[in-house]
Structure 1
Amino acid sequence: MTEVPLLYTCARSRGFRATWAAEEAGIEIELKLLPFPPRFQAPEYLEINPLGTVPMLVDGEARMTESCAIAHYLATKCGYTDLAIAPGEPDYAAYCDFTYHADATITFPQTVYMRFALFEKDKGWEEAGHAYAKWFWKRLVKLEQRLETRDYLCADRFTVADICCGYALVLAERVGLDEGVPDSLKAYRDRLKAREGFRRAWDRESAGPGAI
């Protein structure tokens, strides 16, 4: 019997990218939903992942902790699908760029905002958090321009790049960062959230002990 990949995550965290990709790709995974933040609420998790971060995918000998990489892995582990763009295919470079852009450029200021403006307000760094909110909004310009003439980021179809960047827009809506999100990107987010794969993934994580 083939071992089913195991995904450790917190509901609605960046690990949602992996849950969503699995649903879109038709890949069976086992979800292990942890309380947030797991390094404090589930300290035994540190024995599995010393970083204490989520997500973490365990697939045989493979151990992966980067949500965008996990999403791409799940979309291609049984061969390239329409969710990924292969080398030599048009928009391959754009696919790589936007998939990495999701965390390196967009989600990073969100996480700093959440820490200082939401989770650690008592430390007096709330103003710094709001500065990162403005940084996040300014960093959306690349997505906004890319989607001016297309429904999806790459190759005129829905791909992992949309999952990775789209999650950042979903998170913005949940944590109070929607004020500076352009209407065009809100419409893009609505298209993504209307997908059956998104809805199935959202429902799967609804049983989590605590959502971000």
Structure 2
Amino acid sequence: MIELWHCKDSRSLRALWALQELGLECRVHHLGFPPRATDPGFLEINPLGTVPYLKDGATTMTELSAITHYLAQKYGAGTLAVNPDEPAYADFLNWMYHSDATLTFPQTLILRYGRFEPKERRQPQVVADYTQWYLARLKLVNARLEQAEYLCADRFTAADIAVGYALYLGEVLGLAGHYKPQTQAYLARLKAREAFQKANAGTGGVDAV
């Protein structure tokens, strides 16, 4: 059975969402955040102390974009994955990795220096600068959603999970009011999906521990 180590509202939501979309049986280990501080025993499982951490038989993975891509490719060919022989394959890969390298990166700085650091170490200017960085980096998403319901291949794919989580985290950070109308509508469509709702609630179709 697949096992996933997960913290609510963290980046690992992407992996849990993908598992729900695929209808895969999975044992989910719910951890406090940050897991390396709240669950010291987790370091024996994943020395990085980060989530998500995925175990699928002998396979173990720590990198979120790779985990989402792996699940889609191994278990969701023709659905969540876009195959190399499809015209949209390059777009699929670009959106998958755009989600973390371009969109989630500034959000981590907003979170760290706006919420997670002790008050004396918080940096309002860093938060302000990287808020603008994040919103500016939504240009490609905004442009694509003016023309289509989903990011690539004219269907819902793992790329929508990857980018959709970044938009959801932006909403958690209070930034969704700055989204373009088409991007707000896209996020609403994604959040209305049953698999997202189950993953976000941590229930439905998986064994939670």
Which category describes the TM-score, using the shorter chain as reference length? over 0.9
Deviation at 1:138, TM superposition (A): 0.4
CA distance in structure 1 between the partners assigned to 2:111 and 2:146 by the alignment: 29
Corresponding residue for 1:182?
A: 180
Q: Is the 8 A contact 1:7 1:57 kept in 2?
A: yes
- The two structures, once aligned, show a CA RMSD in angstroms of 1.7
Deviation per residue, 1:47-102 (Å, 9 max, x gap) = 11111111000111111111222122222323613111000102000000000000
Matched, 1:83 2:80: yes
CA distance in structure 1 between the partners assigned to 2:122 and 2:192 by the alignment: 39
The 3 A distance-change label for structure 1 pair 199 and 34 is: same
Secondary structure of residue in 2 paired with 1:43? coil
Deviation at 1:23, TM superposition (A): 0.8
Q: Identify unmatched segments of 5+ residues in structure 1.
A: none
CA distance in structure 1 between the partners assigned to 2:122 and 2:203 by the alignment: 33
Runs (4 or more) in structure 1 with deviation over 3 Å come to none
TM-score norm. by structure 1 comes to 0.91
Corresponding residue for 2:55?
A: 58
TM-score norm. by structure 2 comes to 0.93
Which amino acid letter does the alignment assign opposite residue 116 of structure 1? Y
The 3 A distance-change label for structure 1 pair 124 and 14 is: closer
Matched, 1:194 2:171: no
CA distance in structure 1 between the partners assigned to 2:75 and 2:82 by the alignment: 14
Match of 2:131 among 120, 130, 133: 133
The 3 A distance-change label for structure 1 pair 79 and 117 is: closer
CA distance in structure 2 between the partners assigned to 1:174 and 1:84 by the alignment: 27
Secondary structure of residue in 1 paired with 2:41? helix
Q: Identify unmatched segments of 5+ residues in structure 2.
A: none
Moved more, 120-129 or 29-38: 120-129
CA distance in structure 2 between the partners assigned to 1:149 and 1:32 by the alignment: 39
CA distance in structure 1 between the partners assigned to 2:31 and 2:88 by the alignment: 36
Matched, 1:49 2:46: yes
The 3 A distance-change label for structure 1 pair 79 and 35 is: closer
Which amino acid letter does the alignment assign opposite residue 197 of structure 2? R
Secondary structure of residue in 2 paired with 1:8? strand
CA distance in structure 2 between the partners assigned to 1:104 and 1:44 by the alignment: 29
Moved more, 123-132 or 21-30: 123-132
Q: Is the 8 A contact 1:117 1:130 kept in 2?
A: no
Secondary structure of residue in 1 paired with 2:55? strand
Equivalent residues, number: 205
CA distance in structure 1 between the partners assigned to 2:64 and 2:189 by the alignment: 21
Which amino acid letter does the alignment assign opposite residue 112 of structure 2? R
Corresponding residue for 2:15?
A: 18
Corresponding residue for 2:89?
A: 92
